[in-house]
Each structure stands twice: as structure tokens, then as C-alpha cells.
Amino acid sequence: MARLYESRKRILVTGGAGFLGSHLIDRLIGQGHEVLCVDNLFTGTKRNIDHLHNHPLFEFMRHDITMPLYVEVDEIYNLACPASPIHYQHDPIQTTKTSVHGAINMLGLAKRLRAKIFQASTSEVYGDPTVHPQSEDYWGNVNPIGPRSCYDEGKRCAETLFFDYHRQLGLPIKVVRIFNTYGPRMHHADGRVVSNFVVQALRGEPLTIYGDGSQTRSFCYVDDLIEGFLRLMDTDETVTGPINIGNPNEFTIRELAEKTVAKIGGAELITMPLPRDDPKQRRPDISKAKALLGWEPKVQLDEGLDRTIEYFRDFVGQMEEA
């Protein structure tokens, strides 16, 4: 049910045409809020927000947040940044600028407006972890000069900025560390493992496993993730995060490949060398999310994978017809 007009907010979502941003906007509009979607469309796409084109509560602005932004809003969700290795390594300098300059610009806007601001951080701040599962008090094991550093260290610096603005200026902040998320509207060519496997299987191509497939990941369905975002944003100012949001059920990459093949049909598995600094294990400790937000994931991998396959089946079909 839409909220009453008196409680309606005008909310800025940067990266709003991306995978996560578009799902967040759907939820916010469903709550009756006005949403300003800002995106430079580097990895986001208007296809993700086409259904909102004529919605009276939705506005789109093409803008790069490495440049200052002057708007009037009540809250800010900062999701803008390429999030897959293929995309963030394409222009690593711009990736770092998006995380760092973007954070500075959005924090400056929040400071001027005295607005609550949310930062979409990442489990990549833990690097290739030596602690398993990863809890928020773990400082990480990150290579500061490797090919993934533009994203890992950019997000770490953004967290530093958020907490310094909070401590020094009293700015109300919320910081989430996102673990591997999947679902409809993922970019079909972003190189992430779920979209890779599903698209390859639907096209009858071999599924590419990097390394021997024994490395593990924990896969969170997008609807569960967005619910975690909203719950954190609704907490009082004493709850800042960082808070892990992810699904603690852990699978090897080979297990995910085998599940995908079992659901779609017989594609073979091939192996390629493991990329440098690729984490061997990734699993969130979500004790804090449970205690502070009353949150835990509801959609498990088999159900979420079915929904994702359905989306990509339509998408791949449309691409082949074009």
C-alpha cells in the first residue's frame, strides 16, 4: 500500500538504472515515494527502468557522480559504481574516481541537505579473506596494487569517508556490505558467475569455470538484498553499519555450474586459469543483520536460480531474434 502523502519522501538513487538500483527504485515507488534516478549508463541501462518511464513518481537524470550534483532530496542511496570485474577493470581509474569522488560529492550533497545517506559497499572490502565466514569487524586481506584494487580499495576509501563525515560532522549514514547477489536484470555480459553460467547454458555453450571450481561463494537473491537495504535505512541514527547483507549458504563454483546445467540442459564444463587475487572463499556472517534489522534471506538458491533463468531465457530469446 502506498504511504500517505505526508510521509512521502523525495529519494535520490545513484546507479538507479543498474541491476540493484532498478529493483530498489521499484520498492521505493511501491512505498509511495518520489524517486530521482541518476545514472551515467556506463553499466546501467534504460531497459531496467523503461517500465517507469511515465510513472508520476519517477524522474531520470543522466549524470556522472564524479561531478558535483545539485538537487533537493530527503534521502540518498549511493549505488553508483561498476560492480563486476569485467566492467570495473575496463577503466580502473574511473572506477576509483566513482567510488571516491562520487562518495565525496554525495556526502557533500547530504551534508548540505542534512539528509540521511546510504552507501552500497561490498564484500570485496574483505579481499581474499583469511577469516571465514567474514564478520564486520574483520579488516580484510586486500592487495592495494592489483587488478582488482580499483574496486576493492575504492570501496574501502568510500567507507572511510562515510564514517569520517559521520564522526566529524554528525552526518546520518548507513553502510551495507553486499555479498554476491543475483536475479533478473543482471547484465548479461558482466562476467559474474550466475549470469555467465545461465547465459552460456541457454545458448548451448560450454560453461566456463575459472580455476578448479572449488572456490566458494554465497549467493543472495536480489529481493532479499533490497529488503535488507530498506530495513537498514529505516533504523535510527545509532545504527550506521557496516552491516553484511548476503546469504550465508555457501556453494562451490562447480556446484553452481552443475545446478545450472541440471536446470537448463546439457552443456559441458571447461576450465580456465583463475584470475589474479580472486577470493577463494566468500561467506557472510549475518549475525548483525539478524540482531539489528531482524533480517535474513528467504529465497534460497534453487528458487532464485529458477527466477533468474526465466528472465534470461526471455532476454536471450529477444537477442537472438534481433
- Domains, the chain, ordered by start: 5-321 (3.40.50.720)
Residue from 151, 165, 182, 221 carrying the catalytic annotation = 151
9, 74 contact by CB (below 8 A): yes
Q: Other C-beta atoms within 10 Å of 109: how many? A: 22
Residue 219 has pLDDT above 90, yes or no: yes
pLDDT value for 13: 98
For residues 182-207, give the mean pLDDT.
90
Cβ neighbours for 115, distance < 8 A, ≥ 6 positions apart: 73, 74, 75, 76, 109, 172
Residue 254, helix vs strand vs coil:
helix
- What mean pLDDT, rounded, does the chain reach? 92
Residue 322 has pLDDT above 80, yes or no: no
For residues 218-224, give the mean pLDDT.
97
Condensed to tens digits (0 to 9), the pLDDT of residues 239-296 reads: 999 999 999 999 999 999 999 999 998 778 888 887 776 778 889 999 999 999 999 9
Cross-strand partners of 13: 37, 77
pLDDT band at 43 (very low <50, low <70, confident <90, very high): confident
Comparing 4 with 240, which gets the higher pLDDT? Answer: 240
Q: How far apart are the first and last CA of the chain?
A: 38
How are the residues of the chain apportioned to helix, strand and coil, as percentages rounded to the nearest 5? 45, 20, 40
For residues 105-131, give the mean pLDDT.
96
pLDDT value for 317: 63
210 among known catalytic residues: no
Cross-strand partners of 270: 208
Cβ neighbours for 55, distance < 8 A, ≥ 6 positions apart: 29
Cβ neighbours for 18, distance < 8 A, ≥ 6 positions apart: 39, 43, 44, 48, 79, 80, 83
**d(Cα 184, Cα 313) in Å, to the nearest integer?**
11
pLDDT band at 3 (very low <50, low <70, confident <90, very high): very low
Residue 56, helix vs strand vs coil:
coil
Residue 153 has pLDDT above 60, yes or no: yes
For residues 38-58, give the mean pLDDT.
95
Residue 12 has pLDDT above 60, yes or no: yes
248, 313 contact by CB (below 8 A): no
pLDDT value for 84: 62
User: What phi, psi does 88 have (nearest 5°)?
Assistant: -75, -20
pLDDT band at 46 (very low <50, low <70, confident <90, very high): very high
Residue 58 has pLDDT above 50, yes or no: yes
For residues 144-166, give the mean pLDDT.
94
pLDDT value for 1: 39
Condensed to tens digits (0 to 9), the pLDDT of residues 27-37 reads: 999 999 999 99
pLDDT value for 314: 84
217, 256 contact by CB (below 8 A): yes
Residue 305 has pLDDT above 90, yes or no: yes
